[in-house]
Amino acid sequence: MTLLAIKDLDIALGGRLVLEDIHLRVEPGEIVTIVGPNGSGKTTLLRSIIGSLRPSRGRIDKAPGLTIGYVPQRLHLDATLPMTVSRFMGLPRRRSARPVEQVLERAGAGGLGGRQMSALSGGQFQRVLLARALLESPDLLILDEATQGLDHRGSADFYRELEPLRRELGCGVLMVSHELHVVMRSSDRVVCLNRSICCEGTPERVTASPAYLAMFGMDARDAVALYRHEHDSRPVPLEMTS
Amino acid sequence: MLDDFLVRAALAGIGVALAAAPLGCFVVWRRMAYFGDATAHAAVLGVAVSLVLSTSILAGVLVVSLVMAGTVSSLSDRGHAMDTLLGVMAHSALALGLVAVSFVHGVRIDLMAYLFGDILAVGKADLAVIWAGAALVLGLMGRRWSGLLTATLNTDLAHASGVAPEREQMILVLSLAVVVAVALKVVGVLLITALLIIPAAAARPFSRTPEAMVLIAAALGTAATTGGLQAAYWLDTPTGPTIVSVAAGLFALSSLAGRIKASTRSAAADGDR
């Protein structure tokens, strides 16, 4: 069954049309990536899917009982709010310690349970956010620029882990990223968004389409080729001689 | 036992301190201090309105504070220049209330009692109202705790988990109006926000989780009200301001202790290197 079906969606913010005539479907086990320039409405689209924004036209249908795991672009934690990682994992529903530890381990944040959220590095923080999203065993995982603040290698690692995760959980993944090179490889389908959807398809097809090239320039054409290549023979990291 | 005015005063103070602890933490976490001020200051207007309509002060204060809190809350959703707007509303409400009270003829009211509280004059009926209000607020906070906390962290995260942040905001608004109405007698409109945020802020350095912060804030708030009451009795000073002064002293001590704790920890970390 289709996890998510968006039809004729318009979203207006402050009287301005930010998204227009969006049609989008996400099937179980599928990784769909939304790319687009700044201000193209990527985050707005995700926020309307989780229910933060009301459509001004059209509809968003979710499979009955769909659980969403959501990783926000950035989470600002007020300095006055004390919060351990394990307490954070239990919001809004308390969980017993064992599954929390397991899912933290799975997301690459093992052993951080007792730490304060404010004491985490950028990468650890994003992994904890991912772990919290996984805790609900989501049918649909929604990632909004989930690797912001990570270096290139960190974000490549992050996206590389999505594929096994998707297989394990059998969930669909809908994500937004502007790191074209990194996400192209892990996506089944790419959606190019610039207020409305301008092209859509497999990474190979999208990167060859004129609309995509007009949006990101000719450099972006190599996004897939580069990664298909790197995937085959992963570059060996330079060893420091000290 | 309740015939002793000091016992009644202490029980009233403790009731307000307990209700103020979880709410005060949310006021601190969500940076709603001016929001609290606006709601509390509107209470003077509520007093004036109930004198004119000769209704009960409690009802007038509750209604006007609720209207004010609701207005401020809906304005804050638009989210522009809130700091200035809230400052304007908080102080205008106070000024308008004072002007309105001056128009009420024939009734001699002790304005100071409303501005700074009159905890020593708390009667048995007042005590019942305070504890009923406190129980209501604590009940609401307890029932909605996880949702409130999630909505405070991030509204998108809340939406995705099936928590409606707007509803949680309404619960805070309602609780704030109730706390204002019942704390009026204890510390007065000018110092209600102090009783909300000072114990919560003082609890911060010793807390690792939100729940711990609420419990410590409740303990510090209780200590400040009973200690302030005792000090006011000995020193013959106005009770409401004395309570807030004791709370401020606790805050200063806690900040100092927090500093020391942080610097010994970083020294220990340096030693490890």
**pLDDT single digits (tens) A122-155:** 888 989 999 999 998 899 999 998 887 777 788 8
Considering the domain boundaries, does residue B269 fall inside one? no
Domain count, chain A: 2
Question: Do A130 and A141 share a structural domain?
Answer: no
Measure the CA–CA gap between A154 and A150, rounded to whole angstroms: 5
| Angstrom distance (rounded) from CA B123 to CA A223 | 76
At what angle are helices B124-143 and B165-187 packed, to 10 degrees? 160
Task: With 0.80 as the threshold, say if the pTM is over it.
Answer: yes
Residue A68 lies in a domain: no
Q: Which of B154, B213, B251, B255 has the most A C-beta neighbours within 10 Å, making it the best mutation to test the interface with A?
A: B154
CATH number for the domain including B117? 1.10.3470.10
One domain, residues A155 and A168: yes
Cβ–Cβ below 8 Å for B156 and A52: yes
pLDDT tens-digit series, residues B89-101: 888 989 998 888 8
Which of B150, B207, B208 shows the shortest C-beta gap to A92?
A: B150
A142 shares a domain with A214: yes
Least reliable range by pLDDT among B36-40, B150-154, B253-257: B36-40
pLDDT at position A33 over 80: yes
Say whether the peptide bond before residue A28 is cis (omega within 30 degrees of 0). Answer: no
B117 within a domain of the structure (yes/no): yes
The answer to whether residue B271 scores a pLDDT higher than 60 is no
Instruction: With beta carbons under 8 A apart, name residues in chain A contacting B28.
Output: 80
* A73 inside domain: no
Question: What span, in angstroms and rounded, lies between the C-alpha atoms of A144 and A176?
Answer: 5
Percent with pLDDT over 90 in chain B = 55
Range of the domain at A103: 78-136
A146 lies in the same domain as A131: no
Distance CA B264, CA A30 (A): 51
Min Cα distance A237 → chain B (Å) is 27
Q: Please check whether residue B91 touches A, CB under 8 A.
A: no
Averaged pLDDT of chain B: 89
How many other β-carbons are positioned within 10 Å of the β-carbon of residue B77? 10
Task: Answer yes or no: is pLDDT of B190 > 70.
Answer: yes
Burial A85-98 (b: 16+ CB within 10 A, else e): bbbbbbbbeebeee
**pLDDT for residue A234 is more than 60:** no
* A84 in the same domain as A102: yes
Q: What is the mean pLDDT of chain A?
A: 85
Give the residues across from A175 on adjacent strands.
A33, A143
Range 139-158 of A in CB contact (< 8 A) with B: 142
Q: B158 CA to chain A: closest CA distance, Å? A: 8
Whether B270 maps to a domain, the answer reads: no
Q: How many domains does chain B have?
A: 1
* Average pLDDT estimate for A63-88: 91
- Residue A238 in any domain: the answer is yes
- A84/B150 Cβ within 8 A: no
Number of A/B CB contacts below 8 angstroms equals 71
Q: Has residue B148 been placed in a domain?
A: yes
Section B11-30 average pLDDT: 95
Task: Looking at the structure, tell me whether residues A128 and A158 fall in a common domain.
Answer: no
Q: What is the pLDDT of residues B160-177, one digit of tens each?
A: 998 999 999 899 989 999
Question: What are B228's two structure tokens?
Answer: 């302030």
In a domain, A69, yes or no: no
B191-200 mean pLDDT: 93
Contact A36, A194 (CB under 8 A): yes
Concatenating the DSSP letter of every residue in chain A gives --SEEEEEEEEEETTEEEEEEEEEEE-TT-EEEEE--TTSSHHHHHHHHHTSS--SEEEEEE-TT--EEEE-S-----TT---BHHHHHTSSS---HHHHHHHHHHTT-TT-TTSBGGGS-HHHHHHHHHHHHHHT--SEEEEESTTTT--HHHHHHHHHTHHHHHHHH--EEEEE-S-HHHHHHH-SEEEEEESEEEEEE-HHHHHHSHHHHHHH-GGGGHHHHHHHHHHHSPPPPPPP--
Chain B residues lying within 8 Å of A140, measured CB to CB? none
Contacts (Cβ under 8 Å, ≥6 apart) of B189: B40, B41, B43, B44, B94, B97, B114, B115, B180
Best A81, A139, A174 member to test B by mutation, with max B CBs in 10 Å, is A81
Averaged pLDDT for residues A107-135: 90
A132 to chain B, closest Cα gap in Å:
10
pLDDT of residue B229: 93
Distance (Å, whole) CA A109 – CA A157: 13
Rounded to an integer, the average pLDDT of A40-66 is 92
Please indicate whether, in this complex, the C-beta atoms of A92 and B158 are within 8 angstroms of each other: yes
ipTM metric: 0.86
- pLDDT (tens digit, 9 = 90+) per residue, A191-231? 999 999 988 998 888 888 888 888 887 666 666 554 444 44
Has residue A65 been placed in a domain? no
- Which of B160, B210, B213 lies at the smallest CB-CB distance from A50? B160
Chain A residues 85-124 with CB within 8 Å of chain B: 87-88, 91-94, 116
Which among B28, B146, B160 has CB closest to A70? Answer: B160
**Is A235 a domain residue?**
yes
What is the extent of the structural domain holding B49?
5-264
Among the candidates A110, A136, A162, a domain finishes at A136
A13: phi then psi, degrees, rounded to nearest 5: -120, 125
- Measured between beta carbons, the chain B residues lying within 8 angstroms of A134 are none
Specify if B252 maps to a domain.
Answer: yes
Residue B273 belongs to some domain of the structure: no
Output phi, psi for A136, to 5 deg: -80, 5
- Whether the per-residue pLDDT at A89 is higher than 50: the answer is yes
